Structure 1
Amino acid sequence: MQDTASILKDHGIRPSLQRVCVYHYLRGVKTHPTVDEIYMALLPKYPSLSRTTVYNTLELLLENNLAISLDFGDGFLRYDADCSPHSHFKCKKCGKVYDIFVAPPDCTQMIPAGFTLQGSSLYMFGLCDKCAVGEGGIN
């Protein structure tokens, strides 16, 4: 796996300590964290880190296609360093978000003539396997 600082440099981003630690953390987790979750996870090791720095770093990662943001309509964004085509499933009970490695549907034939599709997302909702037990789901 390529070094985090090298990836930032390759995308024209100056690899400051804060940027490297935020991107390294995001690359290493599969929980689709929020700004606050990233901030709280990194704060013990980097006490000078601010929420604003985390937010600004995530915006920079988004602008340079090194991360994607997920909006499940619950008032805050979640972030994912995996930019490959895939979908997401959010459990309505525990709130966890899971990667579903099925590409979103090809929507190119559904958009009006003259429009240019630049991306699509598929968000799924329901109960994860753990929460479905006892809810009439998996037994």
Structure 2
Amino acid sequence: MQSSALLLQEHRIRPSAQRLVVFDYLRSVKTHPSVDTIYQALQATNPNLSRTTVYNTLELLTKKGLILTLDFGEGFLRYDGNVEPHSHFQCEKCGAVIDIMETAEGCEKMLPKGCTLSSASLYLYGKCMNCK
């Protein structure tokens, strides 16, 4: 896996300590956290990190295509450090979000002949194995 600092530099983002800690955290978790979850997880080891800095960093990383912003209609956004094409499943009971690794090529096969795919976003809902 390429270093976070190098990825930020390649996307013309100054790799500050705060940006690196937020980016590293998102790249290491599979839970699709909210701003508040990220802030709370990092606050203990980074007491100078503000909620505003976390929010602004997430906005910048999203704008530069380094993370995904997910909206499940919960009244807050979730963030995903995995920018590879994939879908998401959300448990209707516990709220867990799970990656489903559907490729863009798989989605393109569903398109009418002659159409091209530039991006895909699919949210699936149901109950996870722990809640069913």
Q: SS at the partner of 1:37? A: helix
Q: Which residue of 2 aligns with 1:6?
A: 6
Q: CA RMSD in A?
A: 1.8
Task: Select the structure with the greater relative contact order (CA < 8 A; seq sep ≥ 6).
Answer: 2
- 1:55 lines up with 2:58 in the alignment: no
- 1:33 lines up with 2:37 in the alignment: no
TM-score, scaled to structure 1: 0.85
Q: SS at the partner of 1:131? A: coil
Q: Which residue of 2 aligns with 1:86?
A: 86
Alignment of 1:65-76 (within 5 A): 65-76=65-76
Q: SS at the partner of 1:61? A: helix
Tell me the matched-pair count.
128
TM-score, scaled to structure 2: 0.90
Q: SS at the partner of 1:99? A: strand
Q: Which residue of 2 aligns with 1:136?
A: none
CA distance in structure 1 between the aligned counterparts of 2:50 and 2:130, rounded to whole angstroms: 35
Q: SS at the partner of 1:14? A: coil
Equivalent AA in structure 1 for residue 43 of structure 2: L
Alignment of 1:88-127 (within 5 A): 88-103=88-103, 105-106=107-108, 109=112, 118-127=118-127
CA distance in structure 1 between the aligned counterparts of 2:14 and 2:111, rounded to whole angstroms: 36
Equivalent AA in structure 1 for residue 51 of structure 2: R
- 1:16 lines up with 2:2 in the alignment: no
Shift of 1:7: 1.0
Q: SS at the partner of 2:131? A: helix
CA distance in structure 2 between the aligned counterparts of 1:73 and 1:117, rounded to whole angstroms: 25
CA distance in structure 1 between the aligned counterparts of 2:22 and 2:49, rounded to whole angstroms: 10
Equivalent AA in structure 2 for residue 27 of structure 1: R
